[in-house]
Structure 1
Amino acid sequence: MRFLRIFRGNTAASLSEAQQLRAYRSSGDVGVLGALYEPYMEMVFAVCFKYLRDEDACKDAVMQIFEKLVVELRTHEVEHFKSWLHSVCRNFCLMQLRARKTFVTAHDIDNEHDETLLIATGPEEPLFYDRQFDALEMCLGTLQTEQRMTIQLFYMQEKCYKEISEETGFDLNKVKSYIQNGKRNLKICIERNGRE
């Protein structure tokens, strides 16, 4: 994957990720961001390939995601860059598929987080329909505050139970309960509102 190696030799790579994020946020130097992004480009390509299944589209996506980071990292404070970047990639690809109105089956995606986030009801059914994206957004708003917060932190920001407990102040067992109940309520709501 030679096309990925565009930031070699940048001195910003010797800084820690946190230092690189701060340096980029304060300076806007794309070289600093490139040095931060470069070690993750193969991961980004792999995540994109999992969804898009097209090498050229994935190469384009790697660069488009970098362009997205150029803007977003100037305003977003990110603590765990790798997990945040993984979420950005996944969401980018899902939006690409949505724009193409392409369907992905649950069999195609083996990651439990992906399946439960978009709620597949059977192995042969498409993982999502165009209307289900709208239903997901609407249904998130119907959840109790605690369920919505924990679902978003767990699935969209990929935080673990312990991190969610520390961030929200909720008891660890409550966090697990909120996520399970919220997931169940989301599934019911999406099935009711997201079908053709």
Structure 2
Amino acid sequence: MTADYKKLSDEELVFRYAHRNEPAAVNCLFDRYGHLVFGVCAKYLRNTEAAKDATQQVFIKLLEDLRRFEIQHFKSWLYQVSKNHCLMQLRKPIPVVNNEIASTENVESYSELHHKIEEERLYDKLDAAIAELNTEQKTCVDMFYLQKMTYAEISAKTGYSIMQVKSAIQNGRRNLKIKMEAIREVKS
């Protein structure tokens, strides 16, 4: 039965858990994306144990959220949920015991945290800029840069010629650069 779940899309797994109450569907999602969530948590929290705990907390929260929300793109949604969970952890007040900070292990300076938040805003703006690209550019840019696929793999998966793929990536990259420069100018 587990092998059958591995063949299903993320959205079908979400549907099976949310509407049919099939726990094996969530187990399959965990097997598929547990490493992604752990990686995001490790990046932000910079502590292996804290990242493990956060990964568990994200998937526990997922059990409720999958039933509450209509999720179109599970992987990107899960990434955003993981990122937000970590940012909330970083914003929590630092425990003080006997007028001393209880643990300085995860403490970052205000400027480092501010820098991370600014960086995340830029990533969010980049995501929005990617969403504004035409379908061909968006697909090819996503597959090439985010999914690390080769031109040949993109061509095989989309049916576009190699030249169409190269052109879409080049034009998409140029359009993204223009959009991001416009954002920087507005910010300045």
Q: Give identity over the alignment, percent.
A: 28
Residue 186 (structure 1) shift: 0.7
The letter of the residue matching 1:29 is: E
Residue 42 (structure 1) shift: 4.8
Aligned to 2:119: 128
Q: State how 1:73-88 maps to structure 2 within 5 Å.
A: 85=75
* 1:71 and 2:61 aligned: no
Aligned to 1:44: 37
* More displaced 10-residue stretch of structure 1: 43-52 or 175-184: 43-52
Q: Judge conservation of contact 2:44–2:87 (CA < 8 Å) in 1.
A: no
Tell me the secondary structure at the aligned position of residue 164 of structure 1. helix
* 1:29 and 2:41 aligned: no
Matched residues in 2 for 1:20 and 1:150: separation? 20
Number of residue pairs the alignment of both structures matches: 155
Matched residues in 1 for 2:124 and 2:14: separation? 34
Tell me the secondary structure at the aligned position of residue 136 of structure 1. helix
Matched residues in 2 for 1:189 and 1:23: separation? 35
Residue 177 (structure 1) shift: 2.6
Return closer, same or farther for 1:91/1:102 CA change in 2, 3 Å cut-off.
farther
Aligned to 1:150: 140
Matched residues in 2 for 1:67 and 1:35: separation? 16
Return closer, same or farther for 1:41/1:172 CA change in 2, 3 Å cut-off.
same
Return closer, same or farther for 1:50/1:134 CA change in 2, 3 Å cut-off.
closer
Aligned to 1:60: 54
Tell me the secondary structure at the aligned position of residue 119 of structure 2. coil
The letter of the residue matching 1:191 is: E
Q: TM-score, normalised by structure 1?
A: 0.53
Matched residues in 1 for 2:139 and 2:9: separation? 29
Aligned to 1:6: none
Runs of 5+ consecutive residues of structure 1 not aligned to the other structure: 1-11, 79-83, 105-125
Kindly report the root-mean-square deviation, in angstroms, between the aligned alpha carbons of the 2 structures: 4.2
Structure possessing the higher relative contact order (Cα contacts under 8 Å, 6 or more residues apart)? 1
Return closer, same or farther for 1:67/1:180 CA change in 2, 3 Å cut-off.
farther
* More displaced 10-residue stretch of structure 1: 58-67 or 171-180: 58-67
Matched residues in 2 for 1:136 and 1:174: separation? 23
- Cα deviation code 1:16-52 (max 9, x no counterpart): 6116976774433124422552475355323420233
Q: Judge conservation of contact 2:30–2:59 (CA < 8 Å) in 1.
A: no
Aligned to 1:121: none
Return closer, same or farther for 1:46/1:141 CA change in 2, 3 Å cut-off.
closer
Runs of 5+ consecutive residues of structure 2 not aligned to the other structure: 92-112
Tell me the secondary structure at the aligned position of residue 170 of structure 1. coil
Larger radius of gyration: 2
